[in-house]
Structure 1
């Protein structure tokens, strides 16, 4: 599926995307993570903030297809089958309260508060029709108040305000961030969808969940922002 940026609205405020952003490496091969308590949202958030500041950036993004050892912190990613470690979406690391917008015209497929430790917390899933067929977008780690802005079946417009980023206490162990994921085939999921897969199933799941990063590069370029920086 080819993503045409002109058909998509930024999921984050222009004031964010116009600022320098760091492509944050949370892979298992990053030695800097070895000393970070990733199961402590405050400590993990401080570490992320330090990386952003050291790169002279204002926010951070990354993670699509990334193999992450940090998921071993929660039984959610291994108790019901093979250990899951490959990230299927993009994470945008920003302060709680940052506004989130619908990325295309569509309807609300489902919402839920996925409250197990390590999960999404409050989540919204939108359904869209594209030239290539049905597509869904998932917005995870939202504030609980976000779920009052939408209801299943509701029509939404591209750029419509659908929520805010949540605090760690409602996002079950994570520092504030948006998990944004595109999904070709929702199957029978409602209010939830795997954001991480087992390494042996990597190609299958990445094919099902296309890379959103080209959209972010295009949005930043349109705002004449610096390209997303690597550490």
Structure 2
């Protein structure tokens, strides 16, 4: 099954008010945000500073009177230039295209499972600019198998489960980490839907280079459609 058919399959749940962030926050308190390299607002502060990013996100939410800012699937960003983990001498191999959905909100916000599933794996990905603590769920729905990744969590989130544990849709599985543990970012959840995990354990690329984009467009699904954000 390709990503288009998986997306269509999963989109049938978009009317069921799925959440990956604290369900007590209504979708009316979400707002889209653009942090691509095309956004001129990002020229007004040091994008290499996690504190500057946190101030920018906080002010953006206050300005719009919202609680969660979301966006970023297939967004090309300059943010990753600060980290050698993503850099390359070749422009085509520079990893700066985001493959998941980011949901920006305060540290310690609850994170919930998007679908019924099991704990596939978890890991603290500690490279500078990486996910930090990460949980991956495996889902088997109507004979379809796929995975969801939850990144930038707090350390305690990795102590809550063991591999193979069952989780229910909407169940709290983790809490967001702060800058000290989440890869040096303003607090947010990186949520990614993956068709084939390619034997990865507790990790999967969340950013790719232009040369690999077509593969990841097939192997990932836009979470905005599944979560119903495309109509907000």
Pair in the same fold by TM > 0.5: yes
Within the candidate set 202, 208, 213, 2:219 is matched to 208
The answer to whether 1:111 aligns with 2:122 is yes
How much does 1:215 deviate?
A: 2.7
1:7-35 superposed Cα distances (whole Å, 9 cap, x missing partner): 78411222223442221101111111123
Aligned partner of 2:62 in structure 1 is 53
Distance 1:145 1:201 in 2: 34
For the residue of structure 2 that corresponds to 1:75, the secondary structure is coil
How much does 1:56 deviate?
A: 2.8
How much does 1:105 deviate?
A: 1.2
Which moved further from structure 2: 191-200 or 50-59? 50-59
Distance 2:87 2:143 in 1: 34
Distance 1:162 1:14 in 2: 13
Aligned partner of 1:193 in structure 2 is 204
Mark the runs of 5 or more structure 1 residues left unpaired by the alignment.
Answer: 221-226
Equivalence map 1:20-169=2 (5 Å): 20-79=29-88, 82-131=93-142, 133-169=144-180
- TM superposition score normalised by structure 1: 0.89
How much does 1:79 deviate?
A: 4.7
Distance 1:140 1:178 in 2: 6
Contact residue 8 and residue 158 of structure 1 kept, 8 A:
no
For the residue of structure 2 that corresponds to 1:84, the secondary structure is coil
Which moved further from structure 2: 200-209 or 142-151? 200-209
1:191-227 superposed Cα distances (whole Å, 9 cap, x missing partner): 1000011123222202101001023326x9xxxxxx6
Distance 2:225 2:97 in 1: 19
Contact residue 62 and residue 92 of structure 1 kept, 8 A:
yes
Aligned residues: 221
For the residue of structure 2 that corresponds to 1:185, the secondary structure is coil
Contact residue 18 and residue 227 of structure 2 kept, 8 A:
no
1:166-211 superposed Cα distances (whole Å, 9 cap, x missing partner): 1110112101000000000001210100001112322220210100
- TM superposition score normalised by structure 2: 0.89
For the residue of structure 2 that corresponds to 1:76, the secondary structure is coil
Distance 2:220 2:27 in 1: 26
**Structural RMSD (CA):** 2.0
